[in-house]
Structure 1
Amino acid sequence: MSHPIIHHNDEHHHEDFQLKDTHPLLGERWPAMGGVRGNDKLTSTYDLVEQMYYLYVRVVKAKDLPPNPLTGSCDPYVEVKLGNYKGTTRHLEKRPNPEWNQVFAFSKDRVQSSSLEVYVKDKEMVGRDDYMGKVVFDLNEVPTRVPPDSPLAPQWYRLEDPRRVDGLKVRGEIMVAVWIGTQADEAFPEAWHSDAASVHGEGVASVRSKVYVSPKLWYLRVNVIEAQDVQPAMRGRTPEVFVKAQVGNQVLKTRTSLSATLNPKWNEDLLFVVAEPFEEQLVLHVEDHVSSRKDDLLGRVTLPLTMFEKRLDHRPFVHSRWFDLEKFGIPALEGETRRELRFASRIHLRVCLEGAYHVMDESTMYISDTRPTARQLWRPPVGVLEVGMLGAKALLPMKNRDGRGTTDAYCVAKYGQKWVRTRTLVGTFSPSWNEQYTWEVYDPSTVITIGVFDNCHLGGNGNSARDSRIGKVRIRLSTLEADRVYTHSYPLVVLTPSGVKKMGELQLAVRFTCLSVASMLHLYSQPLLPKMHYLHPFTVSQLDSLRYQAMSIVAARLGRTEPPLRKEVVEYMLDVESHLWSMRRSKANFFRVMSLLSGLVGIFSWLGDVCKWKNPATTVLVHILLLILVWYPELILPTVFLYMFFIGLWNYRSRPRHPPHMDTKLSWAEAASPDELDEEFDTFPTSKPQDLVYMRYDRLRSVAGRIQTVVGDMATQGERLGSLLSWRDPRATCLFVVFCLLAAVALYVTPFRVVALVTGLYLLRHPRFRSKLPPVPVNFFRRLPSKIDSML
C-alpha cells in the first residue's frame, strides 16, 4: 500500500486552515421583531450582527388608473427607481384598480441619489411601456422606523406627469409607504433587494431568507404476531407464509413461517419511520413462498396511520388487534358467499407509533436535538443559542457567468427541527448577510451545523441544477461559555478528488445564554436520549435503516417548501455519506485511538523507567511515596483525587479559548493520497475499472486483516483469562487453584501493608536484580489455552 506524502510540516499551509479571531463592529442590543414571548431572556435581539440600513418601499395598490387610449384597457405595473437601481412589480392585465402589496429594499450604503421615483406604467402588447404617472420622494424627508415600532401606514399619493405643461395631476392614485429600517424589519425577508436586481422569474424566490421546520418523525412499530385461516391459491397445498409490510417507499418482510401451516406465527417486529402529517398508509401483504421465483399474494389489508395509538413513556402498553384480510387469486368454493370469501382470513397485529427522537434524521455523532417527538414530554429550555451570520470572505468562484467566475452564496443553519436559510447575495466573493437567528436549547450536549452553498437556481436552470457546497462548520454547545460572544472566522474546507481545499472563510458571532444553571447541571446526570430509546432499543442494522429512511423523509419534505431546501443541501447538512468506507477516515480514527493510548503508554513507560532506575532521584521519591502510602493506606484514595484536582487546576490555564472547527490534520485530509480520495468519491456500487477495484479490494483486505489480528489478540487474552478456572487445561487450572489457596492463606496471615510493601519493592527492584526473561506469571498466562485452536 502506498504511503502519501505528508505536508504537516508546512506551517503556513496548516495555519491557513486555522480558526481566526475577528473583531466585527456588532450592533447595540436592539430588538428584532418576532421574539419569543413569555421570557425576557428569550426575546430575540439583533446585537450579534452589524446594523445594515435599507430604504424600504412598499407598493400596496393603485386606483382610478386611466385606460390606454390605443387599447382601451389598462395593464399596470409599478417601477421603483433609485439612482441606477430599478425594481418592478408584476403587471396585472386589465386592472384599473390593481393590488401588488410588494416591498422593495435598497441598501442605504449604495444609495447615490437624493430622490426616489415611483412610476406607474402600462404594459402594452406592441412592445413598449406607456408612462402613466409617477410620485417623487425626497430621501431627506423619509422617516426612520426601528422595531418594535408598528409598521408605517401607507398613504395615497396622486400621480403626476412632468410632461404636462399645465402642472396638473393626472388621473389616478397609488398607495405607497417609504421608510428607512434595518434587517430586523419584518419586511426584510420577503422584500425585493437591489443587490439581487439581476435575478428574475422563479429565481427571485430562491434568493430570500427563510425559516424551515423539519417534519415531526415517529417510529411505526408493527409487531406481526400471527395469522388465521390462510388459504393458498392452490387447493390442497400447505402454504409457506410471510408478511410484507409497506409504508410509502419503505418495504420490510418477516421471515417465512417455520412450519407450513394455515395458522402461521411470527411475533416479529417491523420498524418504519413516518412523518406528520401522515400521508402514507400501512399496507400488509400476506404471501405464499411458492418457489424461489414465485410468491403468491394470499391477502392484503390497508390501514391508515391515524388509527394507531401513540406509545409514550407513561403509556407503554399497546393492545393487539385482529384485522380481516382481503383475499386475492383464491377460487371460491361452492356455497361461499362473497362476504365469507372476503373475511375468511385474519391477521393479528400490535401496531403503535413511538416518539422518535430527532437524532434519527442525522448522524448520531452530531446530535442537534435529543427531545422526544411527543411535545407533552418536553422539558423547559435550559438556554438560548443566538447565531449571527455576519458574512464570508475570500470565497472561490463556483461557476461561470458571462465569461467570468462568480459565486452566489447563501448560508444554511440547522439545529433541532429549525432550519434557517439566509438570503443569497449575487455575484460577490465577500457576501455580508448580517442576519441573526435564535434557537431554544434543551440540552447543551448538542451540535449546530452551519453550511455555505452556491445558489445555482438563479438563471432558470431548472431542477436539474444542484447547489454546490462551499463548506460547513459544526459547533458543540457544551464547549461554549455562557453569556460570552464568540466572534471568529471559520475556514470553509471541503474534500475534493484532488485533495483538501479551502473555499473561503465564514464569519460568525455565537452566544449561548444559560437560563437556569441548576437545570443545566442536572442534565449531566440524565440519560442523553429519551426513555423509550432504552426501554425498546434497536439493533445496529435497524438504526442504519431507520436513519436512512428518516433522512430521505426530511429531504423530501423540505424539498416541497417554497423556496425548496434542496436535497443536496439537506444531505450535506445531515452527513448522509458519513457511514461509507473511507481509507482516509479509517486512518484518522486509527490515529485518534493511538493518541488516546499514547497517554496510557506514556504512564507505563514512565513506570518502566522508574523500575529500571533510569533516574535514581525519581525512583527514590517513588520509594518514599510507596512507604508512606503503604504505612498509611487510608491516604491512597485522597492522594489520587488530590492529584487529579491539581491537574485540573493546572490545565485551566491552557483551556480552549474558542469553539472547535473543522481540523484538516485531525481528519487526515492533508495527507490523503490521490488514490484514496478517488476511492472515497467513487459511487456505490463502484463505477471504476476491474483492475482498480481488485487493487483496492486487496488494500482493504490488508487493512481489515490488521484490524482482525488486533481484535483476535484481544479475544485470545480474554479467553485465556476465562480458562484459568475452566479446567480446559487441567494442569494449569490445578496449579492456579493451588496458588489461589496458598495466596489466600498468605494474605490472611500477612498484614496488607507488608504485602503492598513487598509487591512495590519487588516491582521497583534495581536492574541488577532483574532477569531479561519474562516473569513467571507472564509465562504461565501465555501458556493458557484459548478458542483460537478451534478456529478454521
Structure 2
Amino acid sequence: MQHNNPQSVQPNQEDFKLKDTSPKLGERWPGGGVRGGGGWMSGDKFTSTYDLVEQMQYLYVRVVKAKELPTNSMTGSCDPYAEVKLGNYKGKTRHFEKKTNPEWNQVFAFSKDKIQSSVLEVFVRDKDMVGRDDYLGKVVFDLNEVPTRVPPDSPLAPQWYRLEDRRGEGKVRGDIMLAVWMGTQADEAFPEAWHSDAASVHGEGVFNIRSKVYVSPKLWYLRVNVIEAQDVHPNDRNRLPEVFVKAQVGSQLLKTKVCPNRTTNPLWNEDLVFVTAEPFEEHLVLTVEDRVHQSKDEVLGKISLPLTLFEKRMDHRPVHSQWFNLEKYGFGVLEGDRRKELQFSSRVHLRVCLEGGYHVLDESTLYISDQRPTARQLWKQSIGILEVGILSAQGLLPMKMKDGRGNTDAYCVAKYGQKWVRTRTIIDSFSPKWNEQYTWEVYDPCTVITLGVFDNCHLGSNEKPGGGSSARDSRIGKVSSKAPTTYGYQTLMGRSCSPR
C-alpha cells in the first residue's frame, strides 16, 4: 500500500494569509460626497456612496408603458410586450392580453464591458400563441447620444417615443414611454433590473438572482415560571400522582422536574426559558402530566395560551403571577358538557413574561455580531457606520454540472447584527465580480461580520436534478472579521472602512 507524503497534501499557508488589494475605487469628496459613486454625508449618518468598490458601467433601459397600439385585424385584440435588443442580448417584458395601453415599468441593464453594438433597439410586438409574433413598431437609439446619470442626480424622466416601421423610414400607430441612460451599480434601478449577464435565467429564477436585504426577526426570551398546580387528580383515584409540567412553544419542548412529593397539589417553582420571535403568532401550550410508570405518562390537564397575552419586561420589576384553568384532556367532541364541567376542576399557577432586557444569542459567541438587548429602549447610541464593499471572488471550484461541464453560479451573503445582505448571483463564473456596497450601524467594536459565498441552486432550468424549490444552496466558503477591518481573503475580496 502506498502512503502519500503528508507534506505533499498540506495546503499552501500563503493562500490563507490576509491579502491587501488595490482596486480602482471611487474618490471621496470633502464633506462625504463621492465622485462617480454618488452619495453624501448628512449629519452623522452616511448614505451608501459606492466608493469602496470598483465602478461598473451599465446601460439602463426603463420600459414604462405604451399607448394606442393597433389591434390585430384577425382577432380584433392586442397582446403586447416589449423587447429590448442590444447586439446579441435580448430582454423581454411580460405580455398583457387584450390591452392596447399596457403598463410594464420594467428595467433592463446591459453591462458596458460586453456591449458589441452602437445602437439600442426597443421593439413592441403582439404575442401570437400559435404563430409568429406580429411586429407593431420599434424605437432606435444611438448609444453615443445616451445621457449619463449618476446618483445623487435625479432619476432621468421617461419620454414618449413614436413607433417606427421595420425600416425606420416612417412612423406607425402607437407610442412607447422609455428612459435610457448610462449609469453605475449605484443606481437605484440596479437591484430591480433584468441583467444581460443573467440572460439565460428565466421565470422564477430571475427573482432568485437579485440582490436582497433581509432583517432578522426580533427575538425575545419567554420566561415561564411554573409555580404550582391545584386539584390535579389522576384517572386512578386509588393512587397519588407523580406530577410534572410539559411546556411547548413551536418546536421547543421543555419539562419541569417531577414533583418530589406525591400530591394532587404539586409545587415546582421552576423556570423554563424559550426563544420566540415577533409578531408572537405562536402559543404556549402547557400540559400537566402524571408519571404512571417509567415508560408511560398520562395527561391530566392542558391549556394553550397566546404569547400576546403576556407582558414585556425591560428591567428588574416583578411580574405578577396568574392562575389558569386547565382543560381536562381526552374527551371526545360529543362530551362537550362534561369537558366544560371539568375544565375548572384543575388549575396551574404561572408567572410568565417576555424578557426584553437581554440579548438573545442566535449565533456563536466566537463570531457574535450583535450584543444589544431585545428592547430598543435599552440600546445605546451607535458609535459609527460600517461600510463594506463586496468586490469579487477568485478561484472558485465547480459546484454542479451543466451541459456536461462544471458550473458555479455564485453570490455572497454578509451578516452583521440583525441585517443580512445578499448580492446578486453572477452566472457561470469561477471569478465573479459583484462590486456591491452595504452599510451597517455599529454599536460595539468588539463584534464580527461574517461573509459567505454560496452556489445558487434555484435558477429554474439550472436547478440541481431533483432539487426543486426545496434544494439548499451549496456553501462554497466563508470568512469572519472584526467589524472595523476586512481585507482580501482566499475565499473572497472585500473592503470596509472603520467605524467613525
Q: TM exceeds 0.5? A: yes
**1:6 shift after superposition:** 4.8
Q: Of residues 138, 142, 148 in structure 1, which corresponds to 2:146? A: 142
Root-mean-square deviation (Å): 2.5
2:221, 2:360 within 8 Å by CA — same for their partners in 1?
no
Partner amino acid for 2:23? P
Aligned to 2:299: 297
Partner amino acid for 1:139? L
Structure 1 segment 385-396 matched on structure 2, within 5 A: 385-396=386-397
Classify 1:242/1:436 alpha carbon distance in 2 versus 1 (closer, same or farther; 3 Å): same
1:225 paired with 2:211, answer no
Aligned to 1:469: 475
Q: Of residues 44, 51, 68 in structure 2, which corresponds to 1:47? A: 51
Q: Distance in 1 between matches of 2:84 and 2:9?
A: 57
Q: Distance in 1 between matches of 2:285 and 2:299?
A: 13
Q: Distance in 1 between matches of 2:324 and 2:296?
A: 26
Q: Distance in 1 between matches of 2:331 and 2:181?
A: 75
Aligned to 1:276: 278
1:455 paired with 2:456, answer yes
Structure 1 segment 657-736 matched on structure 2, within 5 A: none
Aligned to 1:17: 16
2:313, 2:357 within 8 Å by CA — same for their partners in 1?
no
**1:294 shift after superposition:** 2.7
1:286, 1:298 within 8 Å by CA — same for their partners in 2?
yes
**1:41 shift after superposition:** 4.6
Q: Distance in 1 between matches of 2:143 and 2:283?
A: 59
After superposition, the C-alpha distances for 1:262-301 in whole angstroms (9 at most, x for unaligned) are 1111111111110111121111111222223332222111
Aligned to 2:440: 439
| Structure 1 residue matching 2:477: 3-state secondary structure | strand
Q: Distance in 2 between matches of 1:113 and 1:169?
A: 24
Q: TM-score, normalised by structure 1?
A: 0.58
Q: Which has the larger radius of gyration?
A: 1
Structure number with higher strand proportion: 2
Structure 1 segment 413-424 matched on structure 2, within 5 A: 413-424=414-425
| Structure 1 residue matching 2:305: 3-state secondary structure | strand
Classify 1:507/1:150 alpha carbon distance in 2 versus 1 (closer, same or farther; 3 Å): same
1:105 paired with 2:105, answer no
Aligned to 1:65: 69
Aligned to 1:247: 249
Structure 1 segment 46-445 matched on structure 2, within 5 A: 46-162=50-166, 167-313=169-315, 315-329=316-330, 339-355=340-356, 360-445=361-446
Q: Distance in 2 between matches of 1:202 and 1:9?
A: 42
Q: Distance in 1 between matches of 2:21 and 2:212?
A: 27
Structure number with higher helix proportion: 1
Identify unmatched segments of 5+ residues in structure 1. Answer: 481-485, 493-505, 515-792
1:356, 1:373 within 8 Å by CA — same for their partners in 2?
yes
**1:305 shift after superposition:** 0.7
**1:35 shift after superposition:** 7.3
1:489, 1:507 within 8 Å by CA — same for their partners in 2?
yes
**1:187 shift after superposition:** 0.7
| Structure 1 residue matching 2:361: 3-state secondary structure | helix
Partner amino acid for 2:15? D
Q: Distance in 2 between matches of 1:35 and 1:282?
A: 48
| Structure 2 residue matching 1:365: 3-state secondary structure | helix
- Greater shift after overlay, 218-227 or 127-136? 127-136
Identify unmatched segments of 5+ residues in structure 2. Answer: none
1:219, 1:356 within 8 Å by CA — same for their partners in 2?
no
**1:337 shift after superposition:** 7.6
Q: Distance in 2 between matches of 1:126 and 1:337?
A: 67
**1:358 shift after superposition:** 5.0
Aligned to 1:652: none
Q: Distance in 2 between matches of 1:257 and 1:395?
A: 58
Q: Distance in 1 between matches of 2:70 and 2:162?
A: 13
| Structure 2 residue matching 1:372: 3-state secondary structure | coil
Partner amino acid for 2:103? E
| Structure 2 residue matching 1:16: 3-state secondary structure | helix
Partner amino acid for 1:18? K
1:48, 1:509 within 8 Å by CA — same for their partners in 2?
yes
**1:7 shift after superposition:** 3.0
Classify 1:293/1:13 alpha carbon distance in 2 versus 1 (closer, same or farther; 3 Å): closer
Q: Which has the higher contact order (CA 8 A, sep 6+)?
A: 2
Q: Distance in 1 between matches of 2:197 and 2:346?
A: 67
1:33, 1:185 within 8 Å by CA — same for their partners in 2?
no
| Structure 2 residue matching 1:396: 3-state secondary structure | coil
Count of residue pairs the alignment pairs up = 484
Q: TM-score, normalised by structure 2?
A: 0.91
| Structure 2 residue matching 1:150: 3-state secondary structure | coil
1:26 paired with 2:25, answer yes
**1:257 shift after superposition:** 1.5
Structure 1 segment 492-641 matched on structure 2, within 5 A: 492=491, 506-514=492-500
**1:71 shift after superposition:** 2.4
Q: Distance in 1 between matches of 2:406 and 2:9?
A: 33
Identity %: 71
Classify 1:46/1:312 alpha carbon distance in 2 versus 1 (closer, same or farther; 3 Å): same
**1:344 shift after superposition:** 2.0
Q: Distance in 2 between matches of 1:491 and 1:81?
A: 38
